[in-house]
Amino acid sequence: MGLLDNIKQQIGSQFIEIIQWLDDTNDSLVYRFPVYNQEIKMNAQLTVRENQVALFINEGKAADLFVPGRYQLTTQNLPILTTLRGWKYGFQSPFKAEIYFFNTRLFTDLKWGTTNPVMMRDAEFGMIRLRAFGIYAMKIADAKMFFEKVVGTQGLTTTDEITGQLRSTILSRLSDAIAESKIAALDLASKYDELSGNGKGILAPEFSSFGLELSKFFIENISLPEEVEAAIDQRTKLGVLGDKMGQYTQLQAADAMKIAAANPGGAAGAGIGIGAGIAMGGMMGGALGSSMAGAGGAGPMAPPPPAGPGFSAPKWSLTVDGKTYGPYSDDALKGMMASGQVAGGTHAWKPGAAGWAPLSTFEEFAGSSAPPMPPPPPPPAR
């Protein structure tokens, strides 16, 4: 033993130790009190502050637990440790043990979020990918269990060291909770409170297995894929117009004009865009005249054609220059391709598709193509 070790031992034997933890951090969960050679003087003073507990460790196993208060360490205050050591009588020699302080306050504003999209089956849109994020609050409820499951022999444990493992647990259980709730994708935004409550009920036992209490759990946002949001936007347009076939046709015609004008691969430059504009003007004028006539009593509006066996519901959305158009039916889209308003390379999406892809790659439009460009006019006669 060196001279410095002898001095430390002599000093330690002359003074009563004061054991306490003055936490000056915001994220420390556990702190191991540094004791020279793991020897604690009998009759040492232990101070445990509010929102703390102190745990004595004997040979790596949890022994005595102290709640907030001030204690003089004796065989009466250390019943478990005294039994383990076989001490039947009080004495003044040091005993070996480790002391861990646990911060039992509530840790708030802990964040969680999906690093990768979570797959979910929706009754209306098929398989969709969801992203979600939120916050939660927790605290240490069982110091002995937390020491056994998480701390081990670490000298200091912070929230960052365990939130990664907790985040994986949250995402795994929450994805199951969302799928089992069978809430439609369109209704998720209005069910955050319900989903948060269900998520807390599922996650609480998982946290308890670590000695933690999940005090609060909130879902702040669940985001849908861009293609699903685009389809929702188009349905919103239809909801504003009303359930009228004439108004829906006007919407499709107006969108077709925008696509033909913005799509360089189409035949808008050959005059088809102008023709579509004339046709659209006539269509809108006829529809407007019919509406005015119906309002003035001159004649009833013509009912829309019945949906026969060959009727196809609108389901296709198109994207051109970062803007989304649609939804269109199979027949409407085939007609737009045949007239040259839409090129086969235009990206499209329908419910159930994995993502945006050129129209020509879909089975429904594999044989559709735009008509050939007309030849240029002949040179003038000399």
For residues 168 and 134, the answer to whether their CB atoms sit within 8 Å is no
Strands ordered across the beta sheet of 323-328: 323-328, 316-320, 347-349, 357-358
Q: Which residue has the higher pLDDT, 296 or 26?
A: 26
CA distance 59 to 73: 18
Is a pLDDT exceeding 50 seen at residue 267?
Answer: no
- Domain extent listing, the chain: 9-103, 107-224, 228-293+314-365
Residue 352 falls in which region: left (phi positive, over 0), alpha (psi -120 to 50) or beta:
left
pLDDT at 230: 74
CA distance 34 to 31: 9
pLDDT per residue as tens digits for the range 242-255:
555 555 565 566 66
Q: CB-based contacts of 364: which residues, under 8 Å, 6+ apart?
A: 330, 334
Max mean pLDDT among 163-177, 271-285, 368-382 falls in 163-177
pLDDT at 35: 73
Q: Which residue has the higher pLDDT, 12 or 233?
A: 233
pLDDT per residue as tens digits for the range 148-188:
888 876 667 888 888 888 888 888 888 777 777 778 877 88
Q: What is the token pair recorded at 380?
A: 């003038």
Find the range with the poorest average confidence among 88-97, 272-281, 318-327.
272-281
One-letter amino acid at 149 equals K
At the top level of CATH, which class does the domain 107-224 belong to? alpha beta
Is a pLDDT exceeding 50 seen at residue 288?
Answer: no
